[in-house]
Amino acid sequence: MKNTSRFFVFLFLSMLLNACVEEVNLPLRDPEPQLVVEGLLSNDPVPYEVKLSYTGVFASGRFLPSRLAVNGALVSISDDKGVRTVLEQDFLEPGTYRTADPNFVGVVGRTYSVTIVTPDEKKYVSRPERLNAVPPINRLYAEFAERTRTRPDGYEIYIDTQDPAESQNYYRWTAYGFSNRPCGNPYAWVPFFSRGINIFDDRNINGKEVKRRNVLFSAMYGSGFHFIEVAQYAMSREAYQFWQLYNEQLNRTGSILDPLPAPIKGNVVNADNPDDIALGYFQVSGIARRKLKITPDTKFSQAYVTDRSAPFVTGVSGLCNNSQESAPRGWE
């Protein structure tokens, strides 16, 4: 009798649950494609580059699909003195435009903006930004770091720079390098790059030295040299805020402690419709660069490094596609 009662209770609850389930058909969003702008003008030698695309779905880590690239646009950069240069499209790289005039070089103190006319005749203009002076990188150095569960032995790369006291400053750092890695026999030189958005503002240290700012990790997959180059950018406050929001949303984990999502507005706007704001940013920054050549300690023999790096080599073997046999130049 007890079993029979349990059966009827179970049957009743099952019917109740089934009755409460109602199918909901949510409308699928099919948003209008938005223009995406990625560009940088600096006091570095030309050419300067602007990349144009439309929003859409594509596999992470792959090249931009040609169907999303904006080809046939008219792109130009101008300054506050009325000097203007037209960018030429690189047809080998869809959606990529570069300056061709060797005399058009960014000047500290000048203000610059980009103008884009898309193939459907929409005109976008970036808000003018000043090219700010950037302090030099006073020191670029490496410190050996032992392996962890997720990475091999290697070098942490740091910089020191002196922040100017007379103004508020906003920084960003990028870095890249070459190291000798096993790509068959013999080893080859493989390029690698810094990850994430490395930004900083000086409101808490204005006029003081920025010390031991970590800018890169250089893994040891061989016992040869490591060649490192670091770029230090002096950005506008608006560019800093853009990268800050971008970085926050990039690092969201879904936790209740995450910052509330905010729209990441760029600085390129439709000239005829102020509500039509392109994604991305056209950045104007002063740049200081410095190079470092790391000579490994003699205690790290070829056998020692290869043995300790063995568990990690497989995971980076795809990088060998971009390797080169000869050592990179410019670090002599």
Examine the fold and report which residue of 105, 131, 157 is the final residue of a domain before the chain moves on: 131
Task: Please report which confidence band the pLDDT of residue 75 belongs to, taking 50, 70 and 90 as the band edges.
Answer: very high
Examine the fold and report which residue of 131, 162, 184 is the final residue of a domain before the chain moves on: 131
pLDDT, greater one: 31 or 121? 121
Burial class from Cβ neighbours inside 10 Å (0-12, 13-18, 19+) for residue 81 reads exposed
Q: Average pLDDT, stretch 31-55?
A: 93
- Decide if 246 is inside a domain: no
Please state, rounded to an integer, the average pLDDT across all residues of the chain.
84
CATH of the domain at 96: 2.60.40
Structural domain harbouring 184: 137-238+287-322
What's the total number of domains in the chain?
2
Task: Please report which confidence band the pLDDT of residue 224 belongs to, taking 50, 70 and 90 as the band edges.
Answer: confident
Examine the fold and report which residue of 93, 111, 131 is the final residue of a domain before the chain moves on: 131
pLDDT digits over 123-136, tens only?
999 999 999 999 99
Task: Inform me whether the pLDDT recorded for 18 exceeds 60.
Answer: no
pTM of the model: 0.82
Task: Inform me whether the pLDDT recorded for 39 exceeds 70.
Answer: yes
- Decide if 101 is inside a domain: yes
- Which pLDDT belongs to residue 206? 94
